[in-house]
Amino acid sequence: MNTSEAKGKLLLYRGSIDDAEPEFQEALEQARRDPELAEWLREQASCYDAIRAKLRAIEPPLGLAEKIVRRRPIPFPLDWSRIGQLAAAIIISATITALVMKLSEGRHRLVVSAQEILVTGEVLDMTCYIASNLSGPEHAVCARECIRRGLPAGLKTGNGKVYLLTGQPGQTVNAQLAELAAKIVTIKGKETRRDGFAQLQIEEIQKL
């Protein structure tokens, strides 16, 4: 290895952090024997240290760390047993509500009869949305998987209203909605409401 080749190798040498790299050993050995090369290596090391010190002196804006911690989303690992429990809770809750309403149907007419509407919004996985407020592109993968596995899907409009999405009686729409998870779509369907809960029975979906 001549001096020029040794310099080519040692140009990347950063000191102790690279000591374990075998590719520098021969060039370092040569620098121990060649005073001129050793001097060049010292200059390189000084340059490296000076630039590193300058760059490491740059400080982030004040309060950035606190802002990151404050805006931390609630961690939500894909724990399918927990998701199943949440889905079961939603279904049981909806069933109880439906039964209670059925029993009191004679006395109270709280169901708003179906009317055809056109709504635009984001396709949600209701389990994660209600439990952990997860939605948007960052949550698309999880939402797609949840809906694909049969968990309830919803639609959140621009003004924050959320619809439970269903197919025609006896038909599931989860396979179709899973592909649209976290995407903005326009849905034509029949809206029904009960006790503040809104359901949209899908007739047609348009992807925007």
List the one residue out of 128, 97, 108 whose CA is nearest residue 199: 97
Q: How far apart are CA 81 and CA 87, in angstroms?
A: 10
Exactly one of 22, 35, 75, 106 binds other proteins (CB under 8 A); which one? 75
- Our CB check for other proteins shows the closer of 69 and 103 to be 69
CB of 65 to other proteins, least distance (A): 5
Torsion angle, alpha carbons of 174, 208, 121, 151, to 10: 10
Q: Which residues in 96-119 are b (16+ Cβ under 10 Å) and which e?
A: eeeeeeeeeeeeeeeeeeeeeeeb
List the one residue out of 155, 135, 146, 140 whose CA is nearest residue 201: 155
Q: Which residues in the 14-43 window bind other proteins by CB under 8 A?
A: 14, 17-18, 21, 40, 43
- Our CB check for other proteins shows the closer of 36 and 204 to be 36
- Piece of the chain touching other proteins by CB under 8 A; list 44-52, 95-103, 146-154, 180-188: 44-52
Q: How far apart are CA 163 and CA 200, in angstroms?
A: 6
79-118 footprint of other proteins as x/- string (CB under 8 A): ----------------------------------------
Q: Where are the beta strands (DSSP E) in the chain?
A: 112-125, 153-157, 162-166, 184-194, 197-207
- Our CB check for other proteins shows the closer of 54 and 107 to be 54
CB of 95 to other proteins, least distance (A): 31
- Our CB check for other proteins shows the closer of 79 and 105 to be 79
Question: Where do we find the tokens 């024997």?
Answer: 33
Q: Which residues in the 163-202 window bind other proteins by CB under 8 A?
A: none
* 49 makes contact with other proteins (CB under 8 A): yes
* 62 makes contact with other proteins (CB under 8 A): no
How many residues does this entry show for the chain?
A: 208
How big is the CA angle at 200 (ends 82 and 164), to the nearest 5 degrees?
A: 15
Query: Tokens standing for 115?
Result: 């009317």
What does the DSSP 8-state code read for residue 160? S
- Piece of the chain touching other proteins by CB under 8 A; list 1-9, 83-91, 118-126, 146-154: 1-9
In the complex, the residues that contact other proteins under the rule CB under 8 A are 4, 7-8, 11-12, 14, 17-18, 21, 40, 43, 46-52, 54-61, 64-65, 67-77, 138-139
